[in-house]
């Protein structure tokens, strides 16, 4: 076939019209990314209804969000300013092991450079067994900085912790969606205000042909992306894809959320505090604090959860708490025929480790990598579903670890201690308990440093350490640990206060905040 004929055939098969149902963070992240990657080669039509609104509680992220923003070419200072954002070095877990106990799951590496094939924490384990080591947080740069309320971006200082500072953001999700909407619309994305009332499926194969709006307008498309949230207007209501329920593993099914007045200091980390039948989040923004209580309705009423939340705010509540209901789990297929579910429409894991926005980002990246033509290859669709399912399952295991390893007395927490764990998680725990070994498998989201910090933080401790550690004397190892801790503290001492950094670098925090 001549080249021109091949090009014509390829052009005939090319996806030309993409319809995104639902706005919010998921919809506008998808629209922004596709408009950036494909430009005018795609006609992108986003349908959303302001009457329906969005969940809007996903205000904390993990460092991968910087890759997404970088791909879009977004100026980071402008982004932080436009979304009332702050910087995030990690997540503090308070009272999770037992009341009064806390630890940090910090971004970035733990300790100094690994010596040969043995990671730093193996030397820490040896010293801990003879009570000659401080808490693991004291050897983790982001933890040391976070607890002193310090922040800065990386600087060009080779062989220094200041050269590679890992961070993410807290931001107002509704402002982020608005920011991305402006970005996408300037690149040709068309937005229609309206509610989808009906989806028309193709008779011979069940593909979606079009959606009909409340106004009567019919919107045709080649590829449909469901960003309609928990409702799953396309992936579930139209295509009946099915849902895998993980409530047995993660029984929290409710959340109440409320913003409160800002207080000082402006913390550069998210805080998760364990409560009677769930946990409370605290996310510091420039203009307010985002708060919420995630809980199980089998162990706590909405009324009591609402009161617990209000009783534990740092500042005055700025509105009445809003109740959210959900079911933890995932779709049986994230991509079904010519419909891809992204965001809450694809599944839900509670925001314990700030994964919600990352799952959106990850889904978009996979969709771009496996972007179809009108033939919709089954092999590509299967690969997308396989990768996404793997990421969901391994992230579920990581969240479950936080709950299972606890020493609390309430019935909710006792439930987890008697729970039969997924084999994949059981294997991780046994491997670590033996000699402190932890490995990242495949494309799972959380790496060795994350598993290590939560294992140790929840008191899942190894019986022994790696034999290679004994090739160095105890005095040598103790000196090494002391040197790492001193280096981290010295580096943190030159860092600016988090609030000052936001104010000077991002021209943010225009209003004063109250002192807690």
Residues with active-site annotation: 88
- Assigned token pair, 305: 């959860």
509: alpha, beta or left, given left = phi > 0 and alpha = psi -120 to 50?
A: left
107 in Cβ contact with 62 (< 8 Å):
yes
Is 25 labelled as part of a ligand binding site?
Answer: yes
Consult the annotation and say whether 344 binds a ligand: yes
User: What Cα–Cα distance (Å) separates residue 420 from each residue in 214, 248, 263?
Assistant: 47, 10, 42
Nearest to 483 by CA among 70, 198, 138, 237: 138
The answer for residues whose C-beta is within 8 angstroms of residue 154's C-beta and 6 or more apart is 162, 163, 164, 165
Strand partners, 282: 271, 291
Of 448, 512, 511, give the one whose Cα is nearest residue 121.
448
In this structure, the number of other CB atoms found within 10 A of the CB of residue 288 comes to 19
| Strand, helix or coil for residue 468 | helix
Query: Using CA atoms, how far apart are residues 448 and 440, in angstroms rounded to an integer?
Result: 6
357 marked as binding residue: yes
361 to each of 28, 61, 71, 285, how far by Cα in Å?
Answer: 11, 11, 11, 21
Angle between the N-to-C axes of helices 65-72 and 356-369, in degrees from 0 to 180, rounded to the nearest 10: 50
CA distances from 248 to 31, 154, 416 (A): 35, 42, 10
The annotation status of 23 as a binding-site residue, yes or no, is: yes
Helix residue ranges per DSSP H, 90-236: 120-129, 141-147, 173-185
Structure tokens at 105: 């799951």
Tokens of 151: 């922040």
* Residue count of the chain: 516
Residue 401 gets which letter from DSSP? H
Question: What sign has the CA pseudo-torsion 426, 431, 436, 442?
Answer: negative
24 annotated to a ligand binding site: yes
26 is in an annotated binding site: yes
Say if CB 283 and CB 59 are below 8 A apart: yes
- Binding-site annotation, residues for L-tryptophan: 353
Residue numbers in the known binding site for FAD are 23-26, 196, 344, 357
């Amino acid at each position: 076939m001549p080249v021109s004929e091949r090009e014509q055939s390829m052009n005939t098969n090319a996806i030309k019209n993409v319809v995104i149902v639902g706005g919010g963070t998921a919809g506008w992240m998808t629209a922004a990314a596709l408009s950036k990657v494909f430009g005018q080669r795609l006609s992108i039509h986003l349908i959303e209804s302001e009457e329906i609104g969005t969940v809007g509680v996903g205000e904390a992220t993990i460092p991968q969000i910087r890759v997404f923003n970088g791909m879009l070419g977004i100026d980071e200072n402008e982004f932080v300013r436009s979304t009332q954002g702050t910087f995030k070095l990690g997540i503090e877990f308070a009272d999770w092991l037992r009341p009064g106990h806390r630890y940090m799951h910090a971004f970035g590496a733990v300790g100094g450079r690994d010596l040969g094939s043995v990671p730093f924490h193996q030397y820490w384990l040896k010293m801990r067994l003879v009570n000659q080591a401080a808490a693991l947080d004291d050897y983790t740069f982001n933890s040391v900085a976070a607890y002193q309320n310090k922040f800065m971006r990386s600087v060009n200082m080779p062989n220094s912790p200041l050269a590679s500072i890992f961070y993410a953001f807290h931001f107002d999700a509704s402002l982020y969606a608005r920011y991305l909407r402006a970005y996408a619309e300037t690149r040709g994305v068309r937005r229609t205000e309206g509610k989808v009332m009906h989806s028309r499926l193709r008779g011979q194969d069940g593909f979606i042909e079009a959606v009909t709006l409340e106004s009567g307008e019919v919107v045709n498309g080649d590829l449909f992306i469901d960003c309609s949230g928990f409702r799953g207007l396309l992936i579930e209501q139209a295509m009946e894809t099915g849902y895998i329920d993980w409530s047995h593993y993660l029984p929290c099914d409710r959340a109440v959320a409320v913003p409160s007045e800002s207080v000082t200091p402006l913390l550069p980390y998210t805080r998760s505090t364990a409560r009677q039948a769930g946990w409370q989040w605290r996310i510091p923004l420039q203009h307010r604090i985002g708060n919420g209580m995630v809980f199980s309705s089998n162990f706590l009423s909405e009324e009591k959860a609402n009161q617990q939340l209000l009783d534990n705010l740092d500042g005055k509540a700025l509105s009445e708490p809003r109740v959210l209901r959900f079911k933890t789990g995932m779709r049986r297929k994230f991509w079904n025929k010519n419909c891809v579910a992204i965001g809450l429409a694809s599944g839900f894991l509670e925001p314990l480790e700030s994964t919600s926005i990352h799952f959106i980002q990850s889904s978009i990246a996979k969709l771009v990598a496996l972007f179809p033509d009108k033939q919709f290859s089954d092999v590509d669709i299967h690969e997308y579903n396989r990768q996404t399912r793997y990421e969901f399952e391994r992230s579920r295991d990581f969240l479950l670890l936080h709950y299972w390893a606890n020493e609390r007395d309430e019935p909710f927490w006792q439930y987890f201690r008697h729970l039969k764990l997924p084999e994949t998680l059981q294997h991780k725990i046994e491997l670590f308990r033996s000699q402190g070994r932890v490995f990242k498998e495949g494309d799972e989201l959380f790496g060795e440093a994350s598993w290590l910090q939560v294992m140790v933080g929840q008191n899942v401790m190894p019986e022994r350490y790696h034999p290679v550690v004994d090739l160095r004397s105890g005095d040598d190892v103790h000196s090494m640990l002391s040197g790492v801790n001193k280096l981290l503290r010295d580096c943190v001492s030159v860092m600016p206060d988090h609030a000052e950094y936001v104010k000077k670098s991002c021209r943010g925090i225009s209003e004063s905040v109250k002192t807690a």
